[in-house]
Amino acid sequence: MSMVINTNMSAASAAKSLQASQASLDKSLARLSSGSKITSASDDAGGLAVSMKMDAQIERFKAAKANIGNAISFTQAQDGYLKNIGSSLDRMGELSILAKDGTKADADRVLYDLEYQQLAETVTDSAAKTWNGRPLFAAAVLAITTDSEGGTFNMAGISLAEVVADVGGDITTAANADTALTNMKEAIGIIASSRATIGSYQTRLHSVSEQIAVASENTAAASSRIQDVDVAEEASEFARFNILVQSGTAMLAQANQIPQNVLRLLQ
């Protein structure tokens, strides 16, 4: 083996190995500190692209679930008001029966009508309530988001126009009380049907919310498998590269001493 001074192949080889070990150590350290296997696009170009799309989909799932939550709150507000309206209509029907009593004079019916009119105003006021600026009771259809791709289903509006019309009379006479009783029974039927409709929508909304949660969880798991680092495995790699860097540094130091052996020949 020739001995030269200008070119130290041993040192060059050791430096090359040390550089590779140091790069691997730096990458391992970056993975451990970030918790991600993909710290740069070059680590896994395809995986990075897939995980980015999955992460974006997860955020859309969160937005869709928030929309579902708002829709559930909307229907709960509707049902709350309908329950109160139903109670008012029940009492108004009771007052109508009392006013039909043949033993009572119209003067007595006027007294019953005082409460009847107050309850009618309560029904009318409730029918005009809004939620976040949107009427709770209108014929307009609500489009509810069901997935991360913007899919929707239409939730029919609940109109109380007929109920408001039904409470517009009075019970100051027996004949009027008879008409009011018929109207109350019709209005109660509308409220009952509306509450059943709202209940069915709430069931569907809860089901859709659960489906979104499952889909989001599965997507997050898939994304995690692509980009999250296995800390135990990476810690072992870090220890290995750390040893290689230390030994490489020591060997480079030794390789740099080789040209000095030439001096012995010159003595």
pLDDT digits (tens, 9 = 90+) for 78-137: 999 999 999 999 999 999 999 999 999 999 999 999 999 999 999 999 999 999 999 999
Q: Which sequence spans correspond to the domains of the chain?
A: 15-32+233-256, 45-227
Indicate if the pLDDT at residue 262 is higher than 70. Answer: no
pLDDT digits (tens, 9 = 90+) for 204-229: 999 999 999 999 999 999 988 888 78
By mean pLDDT, which of 3-17, 49-63, 123-137 is the weakest?
A: 3-17
Average per-residue pLDDT for the chain: 88
Beta bridge partners of 154: 143
- Angle between the 45-99 and 106-127 helix axes, to the nearest 10 degrees? 170
C-alpha 80/C-alpha 65 separation (Å) is: 22
Q: What integer pLDDT is reported at residue 6 of this predicted model?
A: 66
Better-predicted residue by pLDDT, 24 or 103: 103
Q: What percentage of the chain carries pLDDT values higher than 90?
A: 59
- For 45-227, CATH gives 1.20.1330.10
Q: What integer pLDDT is reported at residue 3 of this predicted model?
A: 62
Q: What percentage of the chain carries pLDDT values higher than 70?
A: 94
Tokens 């708002």 — which residue?
70
